[in-house]
């Protein structure tokens, strides 16, 4: 029997394991893919307090090493569901079952991709899904943001403080995001709207050099030269298998506030998988700590 079962081996999950182990609880992290989460694909992390610069993979491996040295157990298996038996929550996987006194869901999200040539190959070499994480690397250079929602608008506003020019590319002729942000962007000299346009190809050998675009109204293909492209066309949570156990919002995110408590007693949610405004490395770590301490209290009281 585990005191805390953690589903997801990203920053939130591994931080939860560290806090759980330090509180004297028996914890297990179950990860269906690669330990470390999305940050492992980032070549440089420079926005984590106290660390000037580190690769995402090194950061993740340090976290995993710390958790394991404290005694956290790790399993690489695909979780298929949770069976709620009251004071015991049984994590079901393709291989076995893990009875736990509490569970922390830290499944993260995946970024929706454009699905265009060279996108995957150049991820981390000019293709990014996080302007806040990577924007400073493109100081004084030309970049593009792809998307029409509030996240894309906020990314463009953030990047215009660093970059020489920001192209904001959207497939429709009007943005879906907040009109107040659109108005602010219209007043920025270094932001250019490229509307009714889609990306056909990302160009570059070792790094991003430009984009081939297509104007949907005229059918014309044309190229812009940029050093980076920030793709903000949505995030996809991976919580469908928990829909019968905890409440989700319309977007599929787990309904949980800053206390990380879900609708089901004894099950907590941490990191990008839950409803929240800011999804960053620091907030994932914070959630992991909050969720672990909440789980410890639950275990002590039940």
The 10 Å Cβ neighbour count of residue 195 is 16
Give the chain's end-to-end CA distance (angstroms, integer): 14
Spatial CB neighbours of 255, under 8 Å, sequence gap ≥ 6: 246, 247, 248, 249, 262, 263, 274, 275
Q: Quick one: angle between helices 179-186 and 150-159, nearest 10?
A: 30
| Beta strands, E only, the chain | 4-7, 27-31, 73-76, 79-85, 88-93, 97-100, 103-105, 109-111, 127-128, 142-146, 165-169, 191-194, 197-203, 210-215, 221-225, 228-231, 235-237, 267-269
Give the C-alpha separation, 60 to 10, whole Å.
Answer: 8
Do the beta carbons of residue 31 and residue 11 sit within 8 Å?
no
Which residue reads 């998988």 in tokens?
273
Q: Which residues pair with 145 in a beta bridge?
A: 168, 230
Lookup: tokens for 110: 């995946």
Cβ atoms 271, 9 nearer than 8 A: no
User: CB atoms < 10 A from the CB of 3, how many?
Assistant: 20
The catalytic site residues sit at 130, 133-134
Relative to beta strand 88-93, strand 79-85 is: antiparallel
Torsion of CA 206, 210, 215, 219, to 10 degrees: -60
């Amino acid at each position: 029997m585990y005191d805390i079962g953690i589903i997801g081996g990203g920053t939130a999950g591994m931080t939860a394991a560290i806090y759980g182990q330090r509180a004297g609880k028996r914890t297990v992290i179950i990860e269906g893919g690669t330990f470390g989460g999305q940050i492992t694909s980032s070549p440089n992390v420079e926005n984590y307090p106290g660390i000037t610069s580190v690769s995402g993979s090194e950061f993740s491996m340090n976290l995993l090493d710390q958790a394991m040295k404290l005694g956290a157990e790790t399993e690489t298996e695909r979780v298929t569901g949770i069976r709620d038996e009251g004071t015991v929550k049984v994590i079901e996987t393709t291989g076995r079952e893990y009875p736990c006194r509490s569970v922390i869901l830290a499944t993260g999200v995946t970024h929706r991709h454009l699905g265009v040539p060279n996108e995957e190959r150049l991820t981390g070499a000019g293709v990014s899904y996080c302007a806040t994480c990577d924007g400073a690397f493109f100081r004084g250079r030309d970049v593009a943001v792809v998307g029409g929602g509030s996240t894309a608008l906020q990314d463009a506003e953030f990047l215009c403080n660093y970059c020489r020019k920001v192209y904001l590319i959207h497939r429709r002729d009007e943005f879906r995001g907040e009109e107040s942000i659109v108005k602010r962007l219209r007043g920025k000299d270094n932001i250019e709207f490229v509307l009714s346009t889609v990306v056909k190809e990302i160009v570059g050998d070792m790094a991003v050099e430009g984009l081939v675009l297509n104007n949907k109204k005229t059918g014309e293909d044309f190229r812009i030269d940029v050093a980076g492209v920030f793709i903000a066309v949505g995030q996809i949570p991976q919580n469908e298998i928990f829909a019968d156990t905890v409440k989700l919002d319309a977007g599929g995110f787990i309904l949980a506030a800053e206390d990380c408590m879900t609708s089901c007693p004894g099950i907590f949610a941490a990191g990008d998988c839950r409803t929240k405004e800011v999804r960053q490395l620091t907030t994932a770590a914070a959630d992991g700590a909050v969720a672990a301490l909440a789980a410890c209290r639950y275990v002590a009281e039940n």
